[in-house]
Amino acid sequence: MTATPHGQEHLKVLVRRSAIQRRVREMGRQISRDFRGERVHLIGVLKGASIFLSDLIRQIRLEVSLDFMAVSSYGKGSQSSGQVRLTKDLDTSIEGLNVILVEDILDTGLTLHYLCRVLQQRKPRALRIAALLDKPERRVREVKADYVGFQIPNEFVVGYGLDYAERYRNLKDVCILSLPPE
Ligand code: IMP
Ligand code: MG
């Protein structure tokens, strides 16, 4: 384990880049098997899922299309406001498509619960969830992800797309961020 001091904040590697790579490859294979002979439409939840999505899509051996949504659920800090708001909608219709909603982390479940409700109304053929990380202890809303990279403990993590106040998205490993007491 490495600890990288960054002011008063400290990073500790939780999931190494090599483990992420391996797992994302497996997830892509599984999606390719599950939808064999069909087309899938990936929807990334901006911005956190962008890195995961860009790796995952290249591991899927099917006809794939891509769109993005953005929501705001977190403020600048690490605590959820509990409110979800759509800030960017899809560019195209998803009616009749095999949709895979791609998210960085499933935490309280509020975001994915909200997005699934919105997307289900638009009559996709299938709606699945792929989340790189899952913190089951934190769940407030019942949401089941179909493809999960790693279940992790109740810690605030950054890296591989995940941020703290827009920082650390570029880290190659998923790291636990310890913050100084407020
Ligand atoms: P949920 O609505 O509580 O499930 O939260 C989902 C969103 O909260 C994710 O898409 C992340 O943007 C953010 N989030 C939750 N936990 C973490 C974390 O540990 N680090 C960084 N962002 C997080
Ligand atoms: Mg997010």
Interval 127-176: pLDDT, tens:
999 999 999 999 999 999 999 999 999 999 999 999 999 999 999 999 99
Q: What is the pLDDT of residue 26?
A: 98
3-class state of residue 3 by DSSP: strand
Mean pLDDT of all residues in 38-66: 98
Distance 38 CA to ligand 1 centre (A): 31
> Is this structure's pTM higher than 0.85?
yes
Q: Work out the pLDDT band at 1, boundaries 50, 70, 90.
A: very low
pLDDT at 34 over 90: yes
Confirm if 85 and 69 have CB atoms less than 8 A apart: no
| CA-proximal residue: ligand 1, atom 20 (nearest) | 157
104 is catalytic: no
Distance CA 155, CA 146 (A): 22
The whole-number average pLDDT for the span 63-81 is 77
Residues with CB under 6 Å of ligand 1 are 48, 73-74, 80, 103-111, 156-158, 162
What does the alpha-carbon distance between residue 109 and residue 19 come to, in Å, rounded to a whole number?
A: 24
Long-range contacts for 166-170 (Cβ within 8 Å, ≥24 apart)?
168/11, 169/47, 169/48, 169/51
Report how far ligand 2's centroid is from the alpha carbon of 8 (Å): 24
